[in-house]
Structure 1
Amino acid sequence: MDLSENAKLLHSRMVALPSSTLFGQEDLQKFLNTTKSADLLEAAQELINKKLLKLVKQGDELMFQATSMSEASKITSMSEDEAMIYSYIEASGREGIWTKTLKAKTNLHQHIVVRCLKSLEGQRYIKSIKSVKHPTRKIYMLYNLQPSIEVTGGPWFTDSELDTEFIDSLLKVVWRFIASKSYPTVFQAPSSNVNIVQASFPTTHNGFASLASIVDFIANANITTVDLAINDVRSLCEVLVYDEKIEPVEHMIDSYKVTWSSILEAGYGRDYENPSNEAFISPKLKSLAAPKHFSIFDSYSVIDSALADDKDLVYFDSWIYD
């Protein structure tokens, strides 16, 4: 692309910085090392004509933003209507823009808008996306961008619908990982080295599952191709807490342990009741694990005769025997 020396210098220094950078007039004058407004105006206008520079309004101030050579080449190949529509779609960022809004902003006929969108989409300059907030609307954004969480609903949505199967499978994975850090032998097969009666850690244990360790486990185990942020995993843990399957560990930040009731509900923790595992239980442990029957008549004491006449003494014989 033929450019003057000043235009080349200005553009090269602008594109050296992140593409989202906005520049004021003073910035551009520093790039050209000039205080003459005429020199800046000439170079800037040349870049604008070549689609290598665009004006962006930031508040009440007019700023400049550089466009790459490839992007400029793409825009110059478009018709005026296509370029206008493309500019509004580009400005919408990761939120995208509704076709009805496009029509209102461009003031173009519906037929022209549809034709331009079809052309741009066919060249893979733009793409249509679905929004969980507005599922009936057709929304467009640049082809190389990923929709924001506000649009997609985050990792819990697939094709704008809540993926309950995906969520349930992750909840099971997270629960089992936390359980393995809460009760070390609960998932192990009975053996002479496994205490199937007492499966918990000692009270001094501090190696419970932390939020960070759960995130790492999910990522390293390749359980899902969806990238889960720490807040996504925290949401899963909050669901499990609400369902009383896990509980926060006291005095530890963002750490969890499973509830014993959830272990039993999942069908674990009762290996000692299986007759085939009797050989793995010592007589002492067997007596501890044996069901205990409590009777109030086995737990009583005789009142000291010296207190028999105490006026505050009340007998419940009639209540006990009636």
Structure 2
Amino acid sequence: EAVPENHLIGPRTSQLIHSGRKQLLLRTTSGSMEFKMKGSDNQEKLVYQIIEDAGNKGIWSRDIRFKSNLPLTEINKILKNLESKKLIKAVKSVAASKKKVYMLYNLQPDRSVTGGAWYSDQDFESEFVEVLNQQCFKFLQSKAEAARDSKQSPMVQRNSSFATSHEVWKYICELGISKVDLSMDDIETILNTLIYDGKVEMTVIAAKEGTVGSVDGQMKLYRGVNPVIQPTGVVRTPCGLCPVFEDCHEGGEISPSNCIYMTEWLDF
């Protein structure tokens, strides 16, 4: 039910939520939220609730203004106050280099905000990606060479030359070359670039439930190969090998117009 903006909130039981241009809704809230916001006024509680609802993807101040219908000067004052209390934090987003999103202080930002393992302070770590690319390929090469040296039957050699993404992930983690925690998905992204480059092939096999590295009863296996023919023109372009291809768009942090690798490829 709509209530006037100056209606008092019951302690530990309700929270003002903006609904429409000149009305607020009253809803129940948790005691923990009320405890954190003890001593705050209604406007500050409203902004906090909007930020909390945004989760670990955060929310821009512009959207906070739209949802709360508060003046920008008042929102900036509230945001600064909540930050000083360490209830919220501002996080730079790779989606827009000059904008920050706000989220609760104890949340880990979503990959869509930070860019994941391939970014540091909004900058794409191309050298780091290249090192991972080389080390993953080196591991698969060594496994293939060990299989060939085993002098077993060709079929056994071929099967033993494959490695799971979990094995590659474990090898990279043991090298200690990454300052951030890499996930299996991160490693599979790198392995995909090697597949596009014609250096690695992948096969999918059935796996028992609970097997390390398996998903939905299936497991991906990778092996290093010597390309028989050169990759196609599309794959040889930086786009064919780029692990953040899906994040590349005009006007973004990663854009075709400012891609130094595309420039080098065209000059070559």
Q: Which residue does the alignment assign to 1:125?
A: 87
Shift in alpha-carbon separation, 1:221–1:249, aligned structure 2, 3 A: same
SS in 2 for 1:129: strand
Q: Which residue does the alignment assign to 2:186?
A: 232
Question: Offset of 1:54 from its aligned partner?
Answer: 5.5
Q: Is residue 2:121 matched to residue 1:159? A: yes
How far apart, CA to CA, are the structure 1 residues paired with 2:195 and 2:150? 19
Which of 1, 6, 12 is residue 51 of structure 1 equivalent to? 12
**Normalising by the residue count of structure 1, what TM-score does the alignment of the two structures yield?**
0.54
How far apart, CA to CA, are the structure 2 residues paired with 1:131 and 1:168? 23
| Matching of residues 35-46 of structure 1 within 5 Å | none
Equivalent pair of 1:55/1:65 in contact (CA under 8 Å): no
Question: Offset of 1:165 from its aligned partner?
Answer: 1.4
SS in 2 for 1:226: coil
How far apart, CA to CA, are the structure 2 residues paired with 1:217 and 1:126? 37
Which of 109, 113, 137 is residue 75 of structure 2 equivalent to? 113
Which of 198, 204, 221 is residue 244 of structure 1 equivalent to? 198
**Residue deviations 1:262-315, cap 9 Å, x none?**
9xxxxxxxxxxxxxxxxxxxxxxxxxxxxxxxxxxxxxxxxxxxxxxxxxxxxx
SS in 2 for 1:146: coil
How far apart, CA to CA, are the structure 2 residues paired with 1:220 and 1:237? 17
**Normalising by the residue count of structure 2, what TM-score does the alignment of the two structures yield?**
0.63
Equivalent pair of 1:182/1:201 in contact (CA under 8 Å): no
Structure 1 residue runs without a partner (length 5+):
1-47, 57-61, 186-197, 263-322
Amino acid at match of 2:163: A
Q: Is residue 2:49 matched to residue 1:87? A: yes
Q: Which residue does the alignment assign to 2:265?
A: none
Question: Offset of 1:63 from its aligned partner?
Answer: 8.1
Bigger relative contact order, structure 1 or 2 (CA pairs below 8 A, ≥6 apart): 2
| CA radius of gyration, larger in | 1
How far apart, CA to CA, are the structure 2 residues paired with 1:164 and 1:106? 40
Question: Offset of 1:75 from its aligned partner?
Answer: 0.5
Shift in alpha-carbon separation, 1:53–1:110, aligned structure 2, 3 A: closer
Amino acid at match of 1:51: R
Structure 2 residue runs without a partner (length 5+):
1-8, 18-25, 207-218, 229-268
Q: Is residue 2:181 matched to residue 1:217? A: no
How far apart, CA to CA, are the structure 2 residues paired with 1:66 and 1:111? 29
Q: Which residue does the alignment assign to 2:225?
A: 259
How far apart, CA to CA, are the structure 2 residues paired with 1:155 and 1:107? 36
Q: Kindly tell me the number of residue pairs found equivalent between the two proteins.
A: 197
Q: Is residue 2:31 matched to residue 1:67? A: yes
Question: Offset of 1:73 from its aligned partner?
Answer: 2.3
Q: Which residue does the alignment assign to 2:65?
A: 103
Question: Offset of 1:150 from its aligned partner?
Answer: 1.9
Question: Offset of 1:128 from its aligned partner?
Answer: 0.8
Q: Is residue 2:97 matched to residue 1:135? A: yes
Shift in alpha-carbon separation, 1:259–1:84, aligned structure 2, 3 A: same
Shift in alpha-carbon separation, 1:109–1:256, aligned structure 2, 3 A: same
Amino acid at match of 2:49: S
SS in 2 for 1:130: strand
How far apart, CA to CA, are the structure 1 residues paired with 2:141 and 2:73? 59
SS in 2 for 1:227: coil
How far apart, CA to CA, are the structure 2 residues paired with 1:65 and 1:217? 47
The alignment yields a C-alpha RMSD, in angstroms, of 3.0
